[in-house]
């Protein structure tokens, strides 16, 4: 099984918002799936955050995919164990979103 170590963090590029390098203390491992590592990264310059997935192949090549997010490190832990939102949940929400306490749509 492939494992990640500190030297693999060099594959996280600069911040996509301000192009600053990330400080190692602002990188937190959220989940390790053997050859896949999910990280939360905060930029100390522009205060943006990323969820980054590092994937290590059998040959040792590391690929990364990063997504800008408004989630903080604690949000991931809190949401990780929640049930998946289904299409039925979305349809139920949508069908009930026309009430007087509607904060999600603008009234005409």
| pLDDT tens track for 39-50 | 899 999 999 999
Record the pTM: 0.67
Closest by CA to 50, choosing from 20, 78, 85, is 20
| pLDDT tens track for 3-53 | 566 666 776 788 889 999 888 888 888 888 888 888 899 999 999 999 998
Q: Please tell me the predicted confidence (pLDDT) of residue 19.
A: 92
Beta strands per DSSP E along the chain:
27-32, 36-42, 49-56, 62-69
Could you tell me the sign of the dihedral formed by the alpha carbons of 45, 46, 52, 58, in that order?
negative
């Amino acid at each position: 099984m492939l494992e990640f170590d500190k030297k693999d963090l060099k594959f996280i590029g600069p911040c996509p918002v301000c192009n600053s390098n990330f400080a190692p203390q602002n990188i937190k491992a959220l989940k390790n799936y053997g050859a896949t590592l999910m990280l939360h990264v905060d930029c100390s310059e522009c205060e943006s955050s990323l969820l980054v997935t590092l994937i290590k192949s059998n040959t040792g090549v590391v690929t990364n995919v990063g997504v800008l997010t408004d989630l903080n490190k604690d949000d991931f832990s809190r949401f990780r164990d929640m049930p998946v939102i289904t299409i039925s949940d979305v349809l139920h929400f949508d069908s009930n979103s026309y009430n007087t306490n509607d904060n999600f749509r603008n009234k005409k």
